Structure 1
Amino acid sequence: MKCQITNALSDFFFEYETPRQVLVRNRRVGVVCRLIQLGVLAYIIGWVFIYEKGYQSTDTAVSSVFTKMKGVGYTNVTGEERVWDVADYVFPPQGDSSFVVMTNYIITEGQKMGKCPELPGKHNCSSDADCEGGSFKRTGHGHMTGVCDNATKTCEVLAWCPVENDHNIPDPPLLKSAENYTLFIKNSVTFPIFGVTRSNLVEGIDATYINKCLHNTRDSPLCPIFRLGDIVKESGFNFETIAKVGGAIGIVVDWTCNFDVDVKYCKPTYNFHGLYGNPSETDKARASVGYNFRYAKHYMEDKVPKRTLLKVFGIRIDIIVQSLARKFDIIPTLTAIGSGVGIFGVATVVCDLVLLYLLPKREFYKNMKFKYTDTHGQHDSESLGLDTSSVYFASEAKTRPGQDTARSNDPDSEAGSTETEESKK
């Protein structure tokens, strides 16, 4: 027993097994095999290594964005002149990566808390019975008092009076001058795996350059200062249309870097996308048009709290940072090579299927590829004390009387791998 265990361990550690191979001289199968291998090789080199860059590891950036708008707007509504600066037309004012630039508005001044009639067309009534006191409607401006105003034939409400009338949107937009506002974007990214930090104020962009540059996709692609009208144009919208009712635009700062070369070549690119609505759509076909919100400025007048209400129509800017950095790494390289080598086995599987099931001489190839043994016959011979190899070789000698003794006694000799004239027929 101890000897058997020792032999088994010795065989396990000191012996090497290799599969038996059969060399088939067949032009069609050979061509199919080489074509498949060539396709796999093209896939590994072209797709895995060149296109997908499977020899590199990847990392995405942690980023921060600061923004600053500049520009002055001017309006003259019914003879009332007004100048609008950054504090008036940017919401919120903190310089975040998402903000709104006001381009049009409806203003309701001098509102104070009290009772007043609703607008015509909202909560119409003919008597007090039509106005349910103590209730309110979603589209209304306040809390109904249960009184029908005879002058307007609308229900009276407790609200900020006079109520806002937003039926008529100014056209052209009041702040059309917003087209010449400028946006400054400051972006910093860090790739933690590679330990690289970059800013969109790359080499060559200093204070002197920033003071005079304006972003242009062709001439000044790295300038971080953008004209609002150019942003709208690049996103596919018409400025006057989007300025009237508002909309949303995305600015994508793309950091796609290859750190196998010098870090200074890692520079951002800027892309512009219309996020809200399709420029080719007709406004009448959509249920809700544009982008707007309300903003109130509260004050005291003669000890009475009042407010000025603005319905703001504006362009919402969303700055999105997109990043992907790559660098050579031996682990993904070996993984890509190993998977590629494994795919080469597809050629062997396909050629075996052709040989064993499609070619006319498939039975001959099966005999060459596989060895068949009768376990019952071998067991009976061993129980009788016979030498199974001698019996096998003897039977082989009887079936091949024309062959010499050396060839008939070796089942793995060239005679067993040669296609005879009879099999060719």
Structure 2
Amino acid sequence: MKSQITSALSDFFFEYETQRQVLVRNRRVGVVCRIIQLGVLAYIIGWVFIYEKGYQSADTAVSSVFTKMKGVGYTETNGVEEIWDVADYVFPSQVRTQCVRSACRSSTPSSKGDASFVVMTNYIITQNQTRGKCPELPGKHNCTKDSECEEGRYKRTGNGHMTGVCVPETKTCEVIAWCPVENDHTIPDPPLLMSAENYTLFIKNSVTFPLFGVTRSNLVEGIDGKYISKCLYHPDTDPLCPIMKLGDIVKFSGFDFTTIARVGGAIGIVVDWTCNLDVAVKHCKPVYAFHGLYGNPDEKDKVRASVGYNFRYAKHYMEDRIAKRTLYKVFGIRLDIIVQSLARKFDIIPTLTAIGSGVGIFGVATVVCDLVLLHLLPKRKYYKDMKYKYSKTQQQVSFKRVRFERH
């Protein structure tokens, strides 16, 4: 018993088992095998290592965006001159925005800056509104008699609660609302703030890749105060300038400024940080891209359910102890600054993992060639006999021995 255990342990520790291989000289099988192996090799080198960078670890950034608009607008309507600065035409009051990976949150108010805001380009103004009773606009809720104006009812497209009275002069229902009610049927054309085309946007963005301990800013090497004071972004001549003219942003996104300024719209500014940290970190620089989010300038207005971008706000004041307000319906360009990031750097772990998986895929060639060799070729029985060695059971050996002794 002791000798058997010793022998088993000796065999386990000091013997090595290897598979028996059969060398088959067959052109068709050989060509199939090499084609599959070359395909697997091309996949590993071309796709896994070169395209997918399988030898590198990847990380996304913690990002912070700070923006500042500059420019002054001038309008003259009904003989009234007005000056519009950044405090008047940018909504909401801008705050610094922090983006953790791809999630953004607003922090406490600081200098003018946000990652999503609206620049007013056109507006409809309704002045001297007071709380009271007045008729609806034609088309909002038409009527011919009082019974058609149910008291206390509110129509979704209306401006207030109906009093139950039909006003003969306008043939519309009387409502309790801010009077006179807003008339937004006619949108100013051309837009009142066409000067917005010359406003400038300054973007300050910093990113940190925690996995690699790398921090970068879009004010990269060479972007100093002297350069910023005179540069203006252009994808060919000044691709790293962080100051952009609003008219250029609209043009690069594929919109026509007059069209989008009249009814409003939305544009996405993408700051792309795709960095290879295997080279010097100074080569990690942002790339700006501009995308029209809505509406499509090639789409006809009549086929769309909702056109442009607008909202309302009011300025309240007291006059002769009466509460009044001036209502603005604002049409503007919504700018969404989106930070995309992906940094890569060499790492031995993903490299070995990619190589190991590639070596495993090479086994596909063996499986396919065995199928062809043992099941499809005319000499498959011969190849089976060469590949497999069949052992005889004890019953078969005893049967042959009995037959031999009888003879």
User: Does residue 343 in structure 1 map to residue 350 in structure 2?
Assistant: no
* Structure 1, gaps ≥5 residues long: 392-425
Q: Which residue of 2 aligns with 1:272?
A: 290
Indicate which of 228, 240, 259 corresponds to 2:277.
259
Deviates more, 1:248-257 or 1:75-84: 75-84
- What runs of 5+ residues in structure 2 fail to find an aligned partner? 95-112
- Provide the alpha-carbon RMSD of the alignment: 1.6
The within-5 A match list for 1:295-334 is: 295-334=313-352
Q: Which has the larger radius of gyration?
A: 1
Question: How far did 1:264 drift?
Answer: 0.7
Equivalent position amino acid for 2:341 in 1 = S
Q: In the alignment, what sits opposite 2:108?
A: none
Q: 2:299 aligns with which of 274, 281, 286?
A: 281
Distance across 1 between alignment mates of 2:10 and 2:261: 85
**Equivalent residue runs for 1:37-76 within 5 Å:** 37-76=37-76
Distance 2:397 2:268 in 1: 80
Q: 1:2 to 1:157 in 2, by over 3 A?
A: farther
Aligned residue for 1:81, secondary structure, equals strand
Matched, 1:152 2:170: yes
Secondary structure of the structure 2 residue equivalent to 1:298: strand
Q: Please, what TM-score do these two structures have when normalized by structure 2? A: 0.92
Matched, 1:174 2:222: no
SS at match of 1:212: coil
- Aligned partner of 1:113 in structure 2 is 131
Runs of 4+ in 1 over 2 A off after TM superposition: 1-15, 376-382
| Match among 192, 196, 199 for residue 217 of structure 2 | 199
2-side partners of 1:110 and 1:228: how far apart?
33
For 1:323 and 1:225, the matched residues in 2 are separated by 21
2:251 aligns to what?
233
Q: Which residue of 2 aligns with 1:402?
A: none
Question: What's the CA shift string for 1:3-35, capped at 9, x where partnerless?
Answer: 444433333333221111001111221122112
Q: Identify which of 240, 258, 269 aligns with 1:222.
A: 240
CA distance in 1, matches of 2:115, 2:144: 51
Does the alignment pair 1:24 with 2:15? no
Matched, 1:88 2:88: yes
Deviations 1:119-144 (A, max 9, x none): 11122122221111111111110111
Shift of the alpha carbon at 1:109? Answer: 0.6
CA distance in 2, matches of 1:133, 1:3: 108
**Structure-2 separation of matches of 1:48 and 1:321:** 26
TM-score after normalising by structure 1: 0.88
Q: Give 1:217 deviation, angstroms.
A: 0.2
Residue equivalent to 1:34: 34
**1:134 has 2:147 as partner:** no
Could you list the per-position Cα deviations for residues 248-273 of structure 1 after superposition, in whole angstroms to 9, with x for gaps in the alignment? 00000000001111111100000000
In 1, Cα distance between equivalents of 2:381 and 2:175: 96
Query: Residue 275 of structure 1 aligns to a residue in which SS?
Result: strand
For residues 265-306 of structure 1, give each alpha carbon's deviation from its aligned partner in whole angstroms, at most 9, with x where no partner exists: 100000000011222111111111000000111111111111
Separation in 2 of the partners of 1:9 and 1:284? 87
Shift of 1:191: 0.2
Q: What is the rounded CA distance, in whole Å, between the counterparts of 1:26 and 1:335 in structure 2?
A: 34
Taking the aligned partners of 1:2 and 1:290, their CA distance within structure 2 comes to: 91
Q: Choose which of 353, 364, 384 in structure 2 pairs with 1:366.
A: 384
User: What's the counterpart of residue 12 of structure 1?
Assistant: 12
Q: Return the match for 1:188 from 198, 203, 206.
A: 206
Residue by residue over 1:149-169, the C-alpha shift from the partner in whole angstroms, topping out at 9 and shown as x without a partner, is: 121111111110000000000
